Each structure stands twice: as structure tokens, then as C-alpha cells.
């Protein structure tokens, strides 16, 4: 008979005592088959921090362009400028999408895109200031640390200066994308020309120092080891100890369809076989994130990537936030996501209530808008 690796009682005792888990604890949890005990521990921490509340935000994503000078091998979204399906939204199109956000009562617009070779820094400043001027009540969560580094590069400014100028224009916070997996080995294989882990962490530190709060992510389910996942979480935990600027952590399961890894466009490259992460891996990763990141207030289950039903289950495995209404999403849907692109406020509330939890509408900064 196959033997199951059970959770070490020491880890359970440490969680009960509210003590910080070590690197070795994190790896032991990933190597354990005892999903239900891991979930029970994560739920304990989740309820200690957030009770039975589950947060959501009424928001709209705007992916302003898929044109990107990078070619991350896990990304099905990016295109060369001359590709037939390359796109960039005009200023007017972006304003139209912002108006749609306002119409549904959105309190947040989430703006990210590729690293465009030609758009000038002024375009980004104008996009932020025009939306903010027209809709001052909407929080703008825009540009990953990778885009901030790109804007610094194209404008000849320091990243701190780029952040200050965007903040002055109306930027509210940074999304957590672009962190991928910090391990050099994985980055060399999958996204060697991307902003380095130190660069990502430094930009987050600079943003936090300016009072620009942010999220953090981890892209998992590719070639990384459990050790590399835990290492990633500990790097985030260390920076959070220093700045306290992170709001939520979002584990992102790799979607393999149409990516250069599975559908190479270049001659000579071999197509790799990847399947979607299992539901067990998704739940385990959410739960272990909740357990390792003791200094993060929120763990987000991004329903777009997890699927609606697994996102519901994850609320009992450490997650306390379902993200939002989203409306239009291109990054995961280019990579084969089968989820809808949008959920209404009412649907989100029902999904949360179906799990027996309290639905709380929040703004980006987790200020409560209302109990629903």
C-alpha cells in the first residue's frame, strides 16, 4: 500500500501558536499528501485574520496592448508589433473602457499591458491623468514592476522618478504581476530578458516607500521545484517585514495553451508537454501561501485563473478574496482559460454566500464599501 506523508505535528503546533514557518516547513508541506490538514491549518490562519469575511471588488481590467518586446515562454498574450493579431487601444478606446467601468459602479480599474517598443512615457502619464480627472473616485491599479522598469528605460528616468510622476498623475497602487518565480534557474529557462527578481523587489520597495501599496504574485506549475516556490514566498515575506506595503498575494496557476512553451513559433524549438495544474496543487499552493505569508493580510483566489468552483473551495483553504468583476481579461484567456471574462457584483456575492461566508465589497485598499 502507498504510504501517505502526513503533516509533521510540529508544524501544526507552530501554526496553532502563531509562530512563523521555516523554509523547511514550507517544503515539507508541499511534499505532504495531507491536503485536508494543510487546508485546515490555512483556514485557521485565514479566519484568525479575516474571520468569515470574503472580499471582492467591482473592477474592470484594461489590457491596453499585447505588443511586447519580451517573449516570456509562458506568455500566450504578447505579440510582435507586426503580428496580424497585435493590438493597442487608442486613447479614446481606453477612455471608453473607463466609462464602461464607471457605468457598472467600478471602484477600481486594473491596467496592465506588454512592454511596447514605441509608446512614450507621456502616453502612460496621460492615460492615468485623463482617467483620474474624469473619474476621480476610481482607484487606478496600474503597471506591474516590469512595466515600471520599462518606462524607466524608455524615458531615461530612474524607477523612483517614474513612480513619483505616475503617482502625481493619479496612480493609486501597483498590481502584483511580473514576479513569476524568483529562482534564477527558472527565469533563465523561461524569461531570461525580464526584469530581475532583485529589480522587481526594489521597485516594490520604492513604491511602498512612496506610499504606493501593491500586490504580489507567483506564477507556478511550470518547471519550478517546491523549494523554488517556498524560496519565492520567503523573499516576499522578507520584503513585507521591511515595508508592510503588500496588500494581497495571488498565486497564479500556469495556463499552458498557445504559449511559446507548448506551441513554439521558432524553428528548432521543441514543443513541451504541459497540462494545467491539478486542483490539489492549486489548493495546496493557496493554503501554503496563507501559512508561509504570515505578514500578508490577504490571499486572493483569482477566479479567472482558478475557475469559479475551485475559487469557491479555496475560500476554505486560506483564500479570503475573490478579486473582482474583471469584465475583460486577455492574458489568461489567450492561454486557454475557459472561465468567463466577467462576473457581476450579484454573482460574486452569491458565489461567496453559497460557501457560507460573508460577502464584503471592498475598494482596492481593502476599505469596506459594504456588507452584501
Residues that bind ligand SF4 (CB under 6 A): 68, 70-72, 75, 77-78, 114-115, 146, 191, 194
Inter-residue contact 203 to 163 (CB < 8 Å)? yes
Answer yes or no whether residue 176 interacts with ligand V47 by CB under 6 A: yes
Using DSSP's 3-state secondary structure scheme, residue 199 falls into helix
Q: DSSP assignment, residue 62?
A: E
Q: Which one, 59 or 206, has the nearer CB to ligand V47?
A: 59
Q: DSSP assignment, residue 278?
A: P
Residue 178, φ and ψ in degrees, nearest 5: 85, -5
* Least distance from ligand V47 to the Cβ atom of residue 263, Å: 11
The answer to whether the Cα torsion of 81, 82, 87, 88 is positive or negative is positive
140 binds, among ligand SF4, ligand V47, none (CB under 5 to 8 A by kind): none
Interface region with ligand V47, contact rule CB under 6 A, candidates 26-34, 43-51, 250-258, 266-274: 250-258
115 binds, among ligand SF4, ligand V47, none (CB under 5 to 8 A by kind): ligand SF4
Residue with cell 452569491: 350
The answer to whether the Cα torsion of 138, 286, 312, 331 is positive or negative is positive
Angle between helices 121-134 and 145-155 (to 10 degrees): 120
* Least distance from ligand SF4 to the Cβ atom of residue 230, Å: 23
Inter-residue contact 11 to 29 (CB < 8 Å)? yes
Question: What is the size of the binding site for ligand V47 (CB under 6 A)?
Answer: 22
Interface region with ligand V47, contact rule CB under 6 A, candidates 23-31, 42-50, 230-238, 253-261: 253-261
Answer yes or no whether residue 25 interacts with ligand V47 by CB under 6 A: no
One residue of 172, 177, 245, 307 binding ligand V47 per CB under 6 A? 177
Inter-residue contact 73 to 260 (CB < 8 Å)? yes
Q: Which one, 180 or 224, has the nearer CB to ligand V47?
A: 180
Q: Which one, 67 or 352, has the nearer CB to ligand SF4?
A: 67
Q: Which one, 78 or 240, has the nearer CB to ligand SF4?
A: 78
Query: Which grid coordinates belong to 78?
Result: 504578447
Cα–Cα distance measured from residue 153 to residue 24, given in angstroms and rounded to the nearest whole number? 39
Answer yes or no whether residue 307 interacts with ligand V47 by CB under 6 A: no
Q: Which residues bind ligand V47 (CB under 6 A)?
A: 74-76, 144, 175-178, 180, 215, 217, 219, 250, 252, 254-255, 259, 302, 323, 331-332, 335
Amino acid at each position: 500500500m502507498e504510504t501517505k506523508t502526513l503533516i509533521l505535528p510540529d508544524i501544526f503546533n507552530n501554526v496553532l501558536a502563531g509562530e512563523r514557518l521555516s523554509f523547511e516547513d514550507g517544503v515539507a508541506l508541499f511534499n505532504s499528501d495531507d491536503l485536508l490538514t494543510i487546508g485546515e491549518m490555512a483556514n485557521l490562519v485565514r479566519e484568525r485574520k479575516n474571520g468569515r469575511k470574503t472580499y471582492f471588488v467591482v473592477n474592470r481590467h484594461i489590457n491596453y496592448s499585447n505588443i511586447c518586446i519580451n517573449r516570456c515562454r509562458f506568455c500566450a498574450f504578447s505579440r510582435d508589433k507586426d503580428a496580424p493579431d497585435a493590438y493597442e487601444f487608442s486613447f479614446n478606446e481606453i477612455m471608453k473602457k473607463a466609462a464602461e467601468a464607471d457605468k457598472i459602479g467600478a471602484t477600481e480599474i486594473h491596467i496592465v499591458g506588454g512592454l511596447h517598443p514605441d509608446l512614450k512615457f507621456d502616453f502612460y502619464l496621460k492615460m492615468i491623468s485623463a482617467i483620474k480627472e474624469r473619474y476621480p473616485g476610481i482607484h487606478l491599479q496600474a503597471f506591474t514592476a516590469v512595466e515600471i522598469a520599462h518606462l524607466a528605460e524608455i524615458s531615461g528616468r530612474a524607477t523612483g522618478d517614474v513612480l513619483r510622476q505616475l503617482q502625481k498623475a493619479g496612480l493609486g497602487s501597483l498590481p502584483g504581476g511580473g514576479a513569476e518565480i524568483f529562482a534564477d534557474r527558472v527565469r533563465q529557462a523561461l524569461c531570461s530578458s525580464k526584469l530581475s527578481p532583485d529589480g522587481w523587489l526594489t521597485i516594490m520597495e520604492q513604491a511602498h516607500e512612496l506610499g504606493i501599496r501593491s500586490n504580489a504574485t507567483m506564477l507556478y506549475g511550470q518547471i519550478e521545484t517546491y523549494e523554488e516556490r517556498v524560496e519565492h514566498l520567503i523573499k516576499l515575506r522578507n520584503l513585507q517585514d521591511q515595508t508592510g506595503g503588500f496588500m494581497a498575494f495571488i498565486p497564479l496557476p500556469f495556463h499552458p495553451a498557445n504559449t511559446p512553451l507548448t506551441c513554439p513559433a521558432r524553428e528548432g524549438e521543441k514543443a513541451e508537454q504541459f497540462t494545467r495544474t491539478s486542483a490539489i496543487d492549486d489548493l495546496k499552493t493557496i493554503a501554503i501561501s496563507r501559512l508561509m505569508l504570515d505578514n500578508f493580510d490577504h490571499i486572493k483566489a483569482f477566479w479567472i485563473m482558478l475557475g469559479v468552483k475551485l475559487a469557491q473551495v479555496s475560500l476554505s483553504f486560506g483564500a479570503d478574496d475573490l478579486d473582482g468583476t474583471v469584465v475583460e481579461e486577455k492574458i489568461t484567456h489567450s492561454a486557454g482559460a475557459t472561465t468567463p471574462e466577467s462576473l457581476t457584483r450579484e454573482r460574486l456575492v452569491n458565489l461567496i454566500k453559497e460557501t457560507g461566508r460573508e460577502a464584503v465589497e471592498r475598494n482596492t485598499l481593502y476599505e469596506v464599501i459594504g456588507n452584501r
